Amino acid sequence: MSKGKELHDLTVGVMGTGNIGRTFVQLLSGFGCRILAYDLHENEDVKKYATYVDKDTLLKESDAISLHLPLFKSTYHLINKETIQKMKDNVILINCSRGELIDTEDIIEAIESKKIGALGLDVIEGEEGITHIDHRSDILSNKNMAYLHQFPNVIMTQHMAFYTNTAVKNMVKSGIKGIIEMANQ
């Protein structure tokens, strides 16, 4: 078993500083770590806690990287062989954003070679039709998802990051409000 790491000793890179990324940076700031941020649109609130850098600097200097980006053509497979090679050895990578930000084949290779020391995934490429459905008696069609589950340094939560009582209530309220607004037009 490898020893853990203290956050105050780490440099944490946050890719994407919209509402969720900004909140993550604010919460993370209480742990005393160095925080690097990358986003095409810099956020003044984030600058109070983090230093904006270019993507390559964030990849090279971060001990842990957390993804909070939307999925666009420009962010599809943002994490791939090329970007992984720029990262520190034994880097911690977290994705609670969009599965397609990471090239799953490349991330598997990085886990196997121990380039990536730990991986946290709330989302994964090709997860459509798999999460939030009872598959206890099925064989999963996403072989990469099943393969990643075997590694002791990989945590997969399958879209549980959002699943709180408050979040579910808000989703129901928003859905009902939208239906009422449509009916009243």
CATH of the domain at 108: 3.40.50.720
Q: How many domains does the chain have?
A: 1
The answer to whether residue 29 sits within a structural domain is yes
Residue 22 among the catalytic residues: no
Backbone angles phi, psi at 9, to 5 degrees: -95, -5
The answer to whether residue 67 sits within a structural domain is yes
The answer to whether residue 60 sits within a structural domain is yes
Question: Per-residue pLDDT for the chain (185 aa), expressed as one digit of tens each?
Answer: 567 788 899 999 999 999 999 999 999 999 999 999 999 999 999 999 999 999 999 999 999 999 999 999 999 999 999 999 999 999 999 998 998 999 999 999 999 999 999 999 988 876 655 555 565 666 666 677 778 888 989 888 876 666 677 877 877 888 888 888 888 88
From 74, 168, 159, 154, select the one nearest 108 (Cα to Cα). 154
C-alpha angle 52/41/121, rounded to 5°?
A: 75
Residue 181 among the catalytic residues: no
Domain that holds residue 81: 7-183
Residue 159 among the catalytic residues: yes
The answer to whether residue 42 sits within a structural domain is yes
How far are the Cα atoms of 37, 124, 128 from residue 43, in angstroms, in the given order?
Answer: 10, 27, 32
Choose the catalytic residue: 68, 98, 100, 125: 98
The answer to whether residue 12 sits within a structural domain is yes
| 36: amino acid identity, one letter | L
The answer to whether residue 174 sits within a structural domain is yes
